[in-house]
Structure 1
Amino acid sequence: MSIWKSGRIKGELLAELSTKTPDQAEADALEAAWLHGLTESGWLSAEQTSKTSFVMDR
């Protein structure tokens, strides 16, 4: 199952994707598919970071 969340934090858009599955291979495939799709669509910045770092550094 994939859950898409997004919101603005200090004027910047934050998007979070969560893949919940007990099957590791399925989770890896979902992550790879989302990463490819988001990269191809230009949604990912060059400075990818964890959500915690994103919030704490701003």
Structure 2
Amino acid sequence: MSFVFECDSLENTCMDLKQKGLVFAPPKKFEWGTSELRLKDPDNNEVVIEEFLKK
């Protein structure tokens, strides 16, 4: 199962999550125009936080 959330600034979201103690790999940029952070919740579901990049 995957949960997908959109944010305005993935950089700011990552900073907020790090301040709350989460540890994760850096987000990845994809050629289709998103930058995505992929995490797992305690039940091993995928949580995706994405920002649509401006062209």
* TM-score, normalization by structure 2: 0.23
The higher relative CO (CA closer than 8 Å, separation ≥ 6) is in 2
User: Larger % of strand: which?
Assistant: 2
Q: TM-score, normalised by structure 1?
A: 0.23
| Structure in which a larger fraction of residues adopt helix | 1
